[in-house]
């Protein structure tokens, strides 16, 4: 029901950036190769996401907006080996309960569908001509939950959150072409050729991307690859460190510390490197079902992974005589 969806929305949909995150993750789970994100007024005007992924069958469109309807896990034991970004079946019903949503979707094997839901009420659902993929537009965010609106920060801050999330998603998926446009201005474009350093260049600039050293290491449980900046290229915050596990951007204080530790005394106090580390591990070693927004995760053998990261950076520095 709408109330339950709004309660869930309270946890998953805090701000425009949460919507961008959930919808882009859906596009990624649907095997999209190209994802275009078009935003106006820092997400309060509209958020539109166009993907070229699997699309949704006519028969499943209404179900996708039902609570806990997910096509991604079938049995309880799947919860312990999650390979998709979504699995809780909460995002679409939550978003639709606090905004106006129009989705056009097609699988390519049958006619497409257009559904319009506002504040949890289905306004229309009808066949539509559409190319394969999904095109979803969210407007009037929080129109029926004014308290939420009041808690939003300035447009600059909300937009910065959107940019930050799209940046991390693009870093985690160098094989997907992303574009982000705000008020008709293009803020990011990646080509989707799988080249991580090119994505880093698109986000942090060419000069910074050139001043990065490659990291590549593994042990029986973990593989780690990516780039970390030369000790001279530092920032005053940890913001520019991205830790990505099984293509999911996560926040983890200990792993961040492990990266910093790899630099030893080469970093000045209060300075932090720029790093993008892609970690792969067996999904049984990670629990992503800790928080609805899935930002925090629990990792088994975490200290082993910390050691591996620190050592990889130390060795790479030594190799480069740094
Ligand atoms: P979850 O991602 O946790 O499964 P969501 O509420 O985000 O839950 O989405 C519900 C379902 O709708 C998904 O399981 C998926 O089957 C379908 N879906 C949502 N977005 C897309 C998309 N962009 N392309 C294809 N299918 C989608
Ligand atoms: Mg989802």
> Which ligand is closest to the CA of 65, given by its number?
1
- Which atom of ligand 1 lies closest to the CA of 71? 14
Does the pLDDT at position 184 exceed 80?
yes
Ligand nearest to the CA of 51: 1
pTM listed for this prediction? 0.95
CA separation for the pair 139, 123 (Å, rounded): 14
**SS3 of residue 281 by DSSP:** strand
Q: So what's the pLDDT on residue 73?
A: 82
How large is the average pLDDT for residues 92-112? 96
From the CB of residue 32, how many other CB atoms can be counted at a distance below 10 Å? 25
Q: In the predicted model, is pLDDT for residue 293 greater than 70?
A: no
The topology under which CATH files domain 2-189 is Heat Shock Protein 90 (3.30.565)
235 lines ligand 1 (CB under 6 A): no
Ligand 1 within 6 A of CB of 130: no
Q: Closest-lying ligand to the alpha carbon of 113?
A: 1
Residue 79 has pLDDT above 80, yes or no: no
Is residue 223 scored above 80 in pLDDT? Answer: yes
> Distance, CA 64 to ligand 1 centroid (Å)?
6
Instruction: Please provide the average confidence, as pLDDT, over all residues in the chain.
Output: 94
Helix (H) or strand (E) holding 149: helix 146-151
92 lines ligand 1 (CB under 6 A): yes
Q: How confident is the model at residue 294, as a pLDDT?
A: 66
Closest ligand 1 atom to residue 51 Cα is: 23
ipTM of the prediction:
0.99
> Quick check: 140 and 101 in contact, CB under 8 A?
no
**Burial grade of 115 (CB within 10 A; 0-12, 13-18, 19 or more):** buried
Among 5, 64, 104, 169, the mutation site with the greatest number of ligand 1 atoms within 8 A of its Cβ is 64
* Edge-to-edge strand ranges of the sheet holding 241-245: 212-218, 222-229, 275-281, 241-245, 248-250
pLDDT (tens digit per residue) in 20-62: 999 999 999 999 999 999 999 999 999 999 999 999 999 999 9
Domain borders along the chain are: 2-189, 205-319
Say if ligand 1 is within 6 A of residue 52 CB: no
Ligand 1 in reach of 54 Cβ (< 6 A): yes
Question: Looking at residue 69, what is its pLDDT?
Answer: 77
Cβ(39)–Cβ(162) below 8 Å: yes
Regarding the domain delimited by 205-319, which CATH topology (the fold level of the hierarchy) does it fall under? Ribosomal Protein S5; domain 2 (3.30.230)
Which range has the worst mean pLDDT, 30-34, 287-291, 295-299? 287-291
């Amino acid at each position: 029901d709408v109330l339950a969806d709004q309660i869930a929305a309270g946890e998953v949909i805090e701000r425009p950036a949460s919507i961008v995150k959930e919808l882009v993750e859906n596009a990624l789970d649907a095997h999209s190769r190209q994802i275009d994100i078009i935003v106006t007024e820092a997400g309060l005007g509209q958020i539109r996401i166009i993907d070229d992924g699997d699309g949704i069958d006519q028969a499943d469109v209404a179900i996708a907006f039902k609570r806990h309807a997910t096509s991604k896990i079938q049995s309880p034991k799947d919860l312990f080996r999650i390979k998709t970004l979504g699995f809780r079946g909460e995002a679409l019903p939550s978003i639709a309960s606090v905004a106006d949503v129009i989705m056009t979707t097609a699988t390519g094997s049958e006619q497409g569908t257009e559904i319009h839901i506002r504040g949890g009420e289905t306004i229309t659902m009808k066949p539509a001509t559409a190319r394969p993929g999904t095109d979803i537009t969210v407007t009037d965010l929080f129109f029926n939950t004014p308290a939420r609106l009041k808690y939003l920060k300035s447009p600059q801050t909300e937009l910065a959150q959107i940019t930050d999330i799209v940046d991390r998603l693009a870093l985690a998926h160098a094989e997907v072409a992303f574009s982000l446009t705000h008020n008709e201005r293009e803020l990011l474009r990646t080509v989707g050729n799988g080249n991580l350093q090119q994505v880093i260049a698109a986000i942090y600039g060419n000069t910074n991307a050139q001043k990065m050293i490659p990291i590549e290491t593994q042990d029986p449980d973990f593989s780690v690859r990516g780039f970390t900046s030369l000790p001279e290229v530092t920032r005053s915050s940890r913001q520019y460190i991205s830790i990505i596990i099984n293509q999911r951007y996560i926040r983890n204080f200990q792993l961040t510390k492990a990266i910093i530790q790899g630099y030893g005394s080469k970093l000045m106090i209060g300075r932090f490197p720029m790093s993008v580390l892609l970690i792969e591990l067996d999904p049984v070693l990670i629990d992503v079902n800790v928080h609805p927004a899935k930002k925090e995760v629990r990792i088994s053998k975490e200290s082993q992974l910390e050691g591996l990261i620190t050592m990889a950076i130390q060795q790479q520095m030594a190799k480069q005589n740094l």
